[in-house]
Structures are given as C-alpha cells and as structure tokens.
Amino acid sequence: MRILICEDSALLREGLVRLLEDAGHDVVAALPDATHLTETVDAEAPELCILDVRLPPTWTDEGIRAALELRARLPKLAVLVLSQYVEERYAADLIAASDGALGYLLKDRVADVADFLEAVGRIGEGATVLDPEVVAQLLSRRRKDERMQRLTDRESSVLALIAEGRSNAAIAKTLHVSEGSVEKHITAVFQKLDLEQDDSGNRRVLAALAHLEAGGTLPPQTPGGTAPQTGTNR
C-alpha cells in the first residue's frame, strides 16, 4: 500500500517509515508538518495518509484539520489519525463526515506492533478503526452536549453569565430581569444538568465547567487583568 506520513517527531516519523516498509508497504513521503501536504498528496497519490493531530507551527490542531480538508477533497482517501490526543471537536466532525476508510489511534495505547500493522491494513482495505478511548471521549462529549440541549435560550444565557463569574445581581442587571427570576433560572439549570445539591456548594462551578466543556467560552479578562468574580453561590 502507498502510504504518506505527516508527523513532526523525527524519531517517530522515521520509525514509522522503517516499520511500514519492513511490512511491505511503500512510504511515498514522510513530512514533518502539513505545509506541503496537499501538493504532496496530489503528486504521490497515496492510498493511506497517517497524520498526527498537533503539528507545527502551533502544535494545536493542524493535523486533524488537514485530515478533514483531505477527506473533503478526496473522500475515498484512507486516513489514519495517530496522536497522543483526542481532539474532540474535529474528531467528531471527521467521523461524522466519513464515508471511507478511517482510523483514529492513540500513540500511547498502541501496545503491539502487530496490532498496529493489522489496523493499518484494515484501514487500507476500507474499514473504520477507532481506539476505544476515542469513542468513550466522544460519547462523553455527546452526553454533555445533550444536557445543554435541555436548556431554554434564557437558561443558556444565564449559564453563560455564571461561567463568566457573574453574581445573581449582575446577571439580573445584564438580562433586565429580577434577581428572583435569575434564581429560578439557575435552579432549572442545575436540575437539567443533573447537578444535585451537596454540602460543598459547588454546583455553580460544576455548571460553569459543563458550559465550557460543551464548547462555551469565557470572555476576555477585564481591564484590571482579572476575570469577574463569582457572587452568590447556590
């Protein structure tokens, strides 16, 4: 099988080249980043591309975004994401948009060379091979997203302001409602997010974390350099 590798670690990149060639595959290119990935794929016509998630220059999500772009251009191209990380947002997009061979394996969980080569072969033949940990994290994210879908628009607005560290009074002022209405919305948020009352009083923090984990964001810091402080706790 004709294989292209895109991996920034020189040792791992060369190790993959040797491993795959010893197994009878033809490694047509081994790139340290995704800068020339598109033109190399066009020139070399690989049957499988193996990419890391985090590549130069930012080491964030260049690799998996490149995988998405490749699949958009070449839907039948087999792709194996081989990484230390589960990039949940793009991984979900990659899997959802996939109608061809696809793999997502975690480097630290590839414990056996023979198993890895078998996975490469299966992907090359058209299979989808996902590390169980990848599946578990994506399902966990989906459950969190489903909890957020229970909230009304007003409850979502209240939760976003909680995540910003606003007090009940500040939330009421921002939304032009009474503090009593804010308290009712917060109670509904806690119930819909399955956050039970406990002695620690940290439901407000847990709600904010749920908001962030589901894709919400915190605002920029205030001019003084600190984020707004949490007020009334529930």
Q: What is the pLDDT of residues 190-209, one digit of tens each?
A: 998 888 776 555 788 888 87
For residue range 65-104, what is the model confidence (pLDDT) as tens digits?
999 999 999 999 999 999 988 887 788 788 877 677 899 9
Tell me if residue 78 falls in helix, strand or coil: strand
Lowest average pLDDT, out of 121-125, 160-164, 227-231, goes to 227-231
User: CATH 3.40.50.2300 in the chain, residues?
Assistant: 1-130
Alpha helix segments (H runs only) across the chain: 10-22, 37-44, 62-73, 88-96, 113-124, 132-149, 153-163, 168-175, 179-192, 203-213
pLDDT at residue number 220:
39
Q: Please, which pLDDT band fits residue 150 given cuts at 50, 70 and 90?
A: confident
More confident residue, 212 or 198: 212
Sequence-distant (6+) residues with CB within 8 A of 14 are 30
Torsion of CA 158, 161, 163, 166, to 10 degrees: -120
Asked whether residue 126 carries a pLDDT value surpassing 80, the answer given is yes
Asked whether residue 223 carries a pLDDT value surpassing 70, the answer given is no
pLDDT at residue number 230:
39
1-130 CATH: 3.40.50.2300
What is the value of pTM for the model shown? 0.64
Distance CA 207, CA 163 (A): 8
Tell me if residue 121 falls in helix, strand or coil: helix
Measured in Å, how far apart are the chain's first and last C-alpha atoms? Answer: 59
Q: Please, which pLDDT band fits residue 180 given cuts at 50, 70 and 90?
A: very high
Q: Class for domain 142-214, per CATH?
A: mainly alpha
Asked whether residue 5 carries a pLDDT value surpassing 70, the answer given is yes
User: CATH 1.10.10.10 in the chain, residues?
Assistant: 142-214
pLDDT at residue number 216:
61
pLDDT at residue number 87:
80
Asked whether residue 231 carries a pLDDT value surpassing 60, the answer given is no
